[in-house]
Amino acid sequence: MKGTLSIFKREFGSYFATPVAYVFILVFLMLAGFFTFQLGSFWDRSEADLRPFFNFLPWLYLFLIPAISMRLWAEERKSGTIELLMTLPITMNQAVLGKFFAAWAFASLCLALTFPLWITVSYLGDPDHGVILASYVGGILMGGGFLAIGSCISAITKNQVIAFVISVVVCLMFILFGVSPVLGMFSSWAPEVVVDTLASFSFLTHFESITKGVVDARDILFFGSLIAFFMFANALILDHKKAV
């Protein structure tokens, strides 16, 4: 626990040691605004909610979260600091979790900084604050899921570009399982159980159910166990690399 916290503090602090983090936040906010107001036809809907924003969030995350996660382990390996980290008196799990939680905290901070959107809809109308709050919680959980996948993939390579590309592809699969045309492709021939199982692995399915305003235990469990699984795999990959 103590070790995890030490790693977390260093990692989180390092995001703000260079201008990259600030640029990233700026890009994130600009894209969020663009998606919401332009593509999401925020003004034409004459409805006071943040639905356009949260509809686009998975697609925004698809590219921005791998941009955060790609450097997690690839950079440590490239610069050689992984040797330092792995020879400090902490366990592999503490190192993996410390870095993951720092990235998750950063991603959540980016999401939280979209709060002016919330203020705007509150000013313009009378939104359902419960639904919006639930959607933010869902966004944080989904971000954690994407990050866990990306962190695990980053442990495979020391090339950040490769880590980014593979992460985007894998994350895309986890989104597409929930898009009806893709499910339709399967439902024409596969048994319903298979289609349902696939759909149950989709980030979209779980995220959308949360954005309806109900934070269901099953959805939390889904993201929680997905994160746990990829953290476990992450530590396993790093352990395996020590033995090669």
Contact 216, 223 (CB under 8 A): no
Residues 84, 112, 161, 228: which binds another protein (CB under 8 A)?
84
Q: Rounded CA gap, 139 and 143, in Å?
A: 6
Give the per-residue contact string, 10-49, with another protein (x = CB under 8 A; - = no). x--xx--xx-------------------------------
Say what angle helices 129-154 and 160-176 make with each other, to 10 degrees: 130
Binds another protein by CB under 8 A, chosen from 48, 86, 179, 237: 86
Question: Any contact of residue 7 with another protein (CB under 8 A)?
Answer: yes
**Minimum distance from residue 89 beta carbon to another protein (Å):** 4
Q: How many residues bind another protein (CB under 8 A)?
A: 24
Segment near another protein (CB under 8 A); pick from 73-81, 123-131, 188-196, 214-222: 73-81
Type of residue at 188:
S
Tokens of residue 137, six digits: 């919680």
Rg of the chain over Cα atoms, rounded to whole angstroms, equals 19
Q: How many CA atoms lie within 13 A of 111 on its CB side?
A: 27
Minimal distance in Å, beta carbon 243 to another protein?
A: 4
> Which is closer to another protein, CB of 218 or CB of 242?
242
Q: Is 122 one of the binding residues for another protein (CB under 8 A)?
A: no
CB atoms within 10 A of CB 72: 24
Q: Is 87 a residue that touches another protein (CB under 8 A)?
A: yes
Cα–Cα distances (Å) from 24 to 16, 19, 106, 159, 169, in that order, read 11, 9, 10, 20, 21
Residues that bind another protein (CB under 8 A): 2-3, 6-7, 9-10, 13-14, 17-18, 79-81, 83-84, 86-91, 242-244
